Structure 1
Amino acid sequence: MDKLPPKPLIDRKVCPIVETALADTRVVLVAGPRQAGKTTLARQFAGPDRTYFTLDDAGTLDAAKTDPVGFIRGINRAVIDEVQRAPELILAIKESVDRNDTPGRFLLTGSANLATVPAIADSLAGRMAVVSLLPFAQAEIRSTPGRLLDRLFAGEEPVADGNAVFGSDLLNIVVRGGYPEVLRRTTPARRVAWLEDYVALILDRDVRDIANIDQLDRLPRLLDVLAEHAGQLVNHSSFGAALGLSSVTAQKYLAILERLFLVKTLPPWSNNRLSRLIKTPKLHFLDSGLLAALREDEVDALRDNRTRFGALLESFVFSEFLKLASWSERRLTFSHYRTKDKDEVDLVIEDRRGRIVGVEIKASATVRADDFRGLRQLQATVGDRFIRGLVLHDHDRVTPFGEKLQAAPLSVLWTM
């Protein structure tokens, strides 16, 4: 029987970023959630002169934990997959690259955000570059440029081509998300089954690798509670009360879920000139497919419930922008703008020069002038630093709403 030809690999847009970092930095960490494609990417850099190790292998893990210095000694160049499983290796790697500072010696992958652990961040400061790898972006799936952020900060206006995606097609994209294994499955039931197993594995095994917590059984329920609050302001007291946990414990558990790349808190934008700004972060999930599975949201139901779809869509758009930023050469920060009068901008994207692009996200096809109220306030506050204000919505064309203000199709996220 003839073998089926292998499916072509989808090119990851951070691949050149990793290649460049290996050419001038001793240690490169590719960080992102499990099953986002880190191993596939890392293996492309393995070979006779760069040995591949995975700490998901029990024997390799035992050797790394038992004698980390001995494990690293004698290694010239290596790929070490899932390094968060043996954090003991980090100090041994530091000592090794201090003795031999040749660039590209270690390519690490981690399914927990090691860069947020002070001891690790401090020990490899100046020696390590961190590259983010999230599940597939739509620009990767469709092999489109994915240069929206660069083009907006270059002063370009949004452009809709004939390939805009909206209506039911957009719904399907958002509910599916970007995990490679999910995209291989052809039915919603099979996708949801994989995502449920995926969450169970992470909460049962990966949490133990990075934290000692007393009430591990509360985490699945906490994740469900957080899913219902996606797109809303973080409220640790409310999250904890739903599970009989203190606010402090809920905050600690949320931080663990964030380190595992399941959720992301979006900080508030701050400005000394505005005293009425809300200073509370917003909660998002890093994959809209996973969020939809946790919320038991299905396409048919969402078609009739645009409010519920809106929360899902906001996490989807936020995640797409993070992916676009991961391969942009610009250093960008993300925040949200909200006043005590509830005027808001869902995403404030700022470059190192303090220039700002504001994005409001709407699940509806219709956009009104009032939808730009928060963007206009932001524009008035920052003046010439305001580059562009967009309302991204479920439509197929660009509509001007004032100087530097446009409504645009959500699909500009991957068509530009």
Structure 2
Amino acid sequence: MIRRTIIKQLHSRLEAVPVVALLGSRQVGKTTLAKQLQLGKHCHYLDLERPSDLAKLSDPELYLSGFENQLVILDEIQRIPELFPVLRSLVDERRQKGERCCHFLILGSASPELLQQSSETLAGRISYLELTPLNLLELPQQDDASATHWFRGGYPDSYLSVDDATAMQWCDDFILSYTERYLPQMGINSTPIQLRRLCSMLAHQQGATLNISQLANSLGISAKTIRHYLDLLEGLFLIRRLPAWSRNAGKRLVKAPKLYLRDTGLLHSLAGLSDLESLLGHPLCGHSWEGYCIEQILQKLPKGTGASHYRTQAGAEIDLMLEARDGSRTAIEIKRTLSPKLTRAFRESIETVKADRGFYIIPEGERYPMADNVEAISLSDYLELL
């Protein structure tokens, strides 16, 4: 599938910045996208998980200095963060010669926060882009595209599987690779069984307000350790913590963030669901749809837009609050129904947070008004608005 938006952004950054970091979880398609780039100059690719490529960097400055006027692609950069000072030195040397275009494209499975050395060493020389799993708008317009995407998730190998069973097997293998190999490499000392239990517990808390103490007690580890694990999982693009709206609204507000697994294919695999029919009859269905819609929307938000959830101690809530740079606010309620009912609690919440407009996100159907400033709209149509 051609990911036109991210390719356009990547080309723009490569023309303007010495180092570009394309980040995203494993198996999301970073390597495939990087190898398909057509830049008008030679590209040299190194996989830092391949021993033969790693051996070439025994003297990284000597080796990398031999690729002037070429783009060097370094895959899985988090494996050797000591490369960052070398990249800084080479970039500065080439800048002095008048070379302004990109010299290095680095691919990584960890967020900038986990790659702190790059943020510090390459400050002013690096630009970050996140490659997410496939978004609904990137898919061919087919009748069942939305339902298939919701159930299988957006990882290309899962979404493009021949059937749901194969997709869930891929997701299960993906989770296994993280719990048995990748997370321990990132410094987590728990056993694979304990990590799998943690992931399963997070799946069953999809869309719930985060309760650190409950997770810690259930797993028999400290709250501090749970926070560290969650930070790591978020930094690896696997979970999302949606913060609580925190303005002074004269109400007693829930202050805890909401927790979501970012990819619904992984969520459904952890919940033991085999196909769409089993999901539709499962208690997780509503929370899964909510998380799916929120992730699709957040992937397409204009830069600088703030996102949060709103909930009072009395139970009034807004699933997703968006605040644009100009201060305008949008309140979003997500319902898996074609005929949502405008509730008094939602209208009062809109007034409390001073939202300019509200939307009910529904699976499909035509857009229509529900009140003066509230509309029902399908997910795909709302994404087009963004």
Same fold (TM over 0.5): yes
> CA 1:373 to 1:69, structure 2 compared with 1: closer, same or farther past 3 Å?
farther
Q: Of 251, 254, 266, which residue of structure 1 is paired with 2:242?
A: 266
TM-superposed deviation, 1:275: 5.1
Higher normalized contact order (CA 8 Å, seq sep 6+, divided by chain length): 1
1:140 aligns with 138
2:45 aligns with 52
Bigger CA drift: 225-234 or 180-189? 180-189
The answer to whether the 8 Å contact 1:268/1:282 transfers is: yes
Secondary structure of 2:26's match?
coil
> CA 1:39 to 1:169, structure 2 compared with 1: closer, same or farther past 3 Å?
closer
Partners of 2:226 and 2:76 lie apart in 1 by 26
2:9 aligns with 17
Once the two structures are superposed, residues 241-266 of structure 1 have per-residue CA deviations (whole angstroms, 9 ceiling, x without a partner) of 22111111111111111122111111
The answer to whether the 8 Å contact 2:238/2:263 transfers is: yes
**TM-score by structure 2 length?**
0.89
The answer to whether the 8 Å contact 1:392/1:408 transfers is: yes
Q: Of 369, 372, 376, which residue of structure 2 is paired with 1:407?
A: 376
Secondary structure of 1:103's match?
coil
Q: Of 67, 75, 87, which residue of structure 1 is paired with 2:67?
A: 75
Q: Of 106, 109, 124, which residue of structure 1 is paired with 2:107?
A: 109
The answer to whether the 8 Å contact 2:310/2:317 transfers is: yes
- Amino acid across the alignment from 1:319: E
> CA 1:274 to 1:49, structure 2 compared with 1: closer, same or farther past 3 Å?
farther
The answer to whether the 8 Å contact 2:77/2:107 transfers is: yes
Secondary structure of 1:13's match?
helix
1:121 aligns with 119
TM-superposed deviation, 1:139: 0.8
2:159 aligns with 183
Q: Does 1:199 align with 2:175?
A: yes
Q: Of 217, 223, 229, which residue of structure 1 is paired with 2:199?
A: 223
Q: What RMSD, in angstroms, separates the aligned Cα atoms of the two structures?
A: 2.4
The answer to whether the 8 Å contact 2:179/2:195 transfers is: yes
Q: Does 1:91 align with 2:73?
A: no
Unaligned regions of 5+ residues in structure 1, if any? 1-8, 144-162
1:286 aligns with 262
1:299 aligns with 276
Q: Does 1:32 align with 2:4?
A: no
- Amino acid across the alignment from 1:350: E
TM-superposed deviation, 1:366: 3.0
Q: Of 331, 351, 366, which residue of structure 1 is paired with 2:339?
A: 366
Once the two structures are superposed, residues 297-351 of structure 1 have per-residue CA deviations (whole angstroms, 9 ceiling, x without a partner) of 232223334x4211111121122113223xx4x4322211112222111111222
Once the two structures are superposed, residues 151-196 of structure 1 have per-residue CA deviations (whole angstroms, 9 ceiling, x without a partner) of xxxxxxxxxxxx8x6xx87543311211111122112221111111
> CA 1:19 to 1:109, structure 2 compared with 1: closer, same or farther past 3 Å?
same
> CA 1:183 to 1:169, structure 2 compared with 1: closer, same or farther past 3 Å?
closer
The answer to whether the 8 Å contact 2:81/2:117 transfers is: no
Partners of 1:130 and 1:403 lie apart in 2 by 40
Partners of 2:111 and 2:380 lie apart in 1 by 29
> CA 1:394 to 1:251, structure 2 compared with 1: closer, same or farther past 3 Å?
same
Q: Of 276, 281, 296, which residue of structure 1 is paired with 2:252?
A: 276
Once the two structures are superposed, residues 346-371 of structure 1 have per-residue CA deviations (whole angstroms, 9 ceiling, x without a partner) of 1112222222222111123331121x
> CA 1:285 to 1:352, structure 2 compared with 1: closer, same or farther past 3 Å?
same
Secondary structure of 2:284's match?
helix
> CA 1:201 to 1:38, structure 2 compared with 1: closer, same or farther past 3 Å?
same
Once the two structures are superposed, residues 97-139 of structure 1 have per-residue CA deviations (whole angstroms, 9 ceiling, x without a partner) of 2332323111111111134443332222222111111111111
The answer to whether the 8 Å contact 2:136/2:146 transfers is: no
Partners of 1:360 and 1:14 lie apart in 2 by 28
> CA 1:196 to 1:302, structure 2 compared with 1: closer, same or farther past 3 Å?
closer
1:356 aligns with 329
- Amino acid across the alignment from 2:107: T
TM-superposed deviation, 1:413: 4.5
The answer to whether the 8 Å contact 1:225/1:242 transfers is: no
Partners of 1:214 and 1:191 lie apart in 2 by 27
**TM-score by structure 1 length?**
0.83
Unaligned regions of 5+ residues in structure 2, if any? none
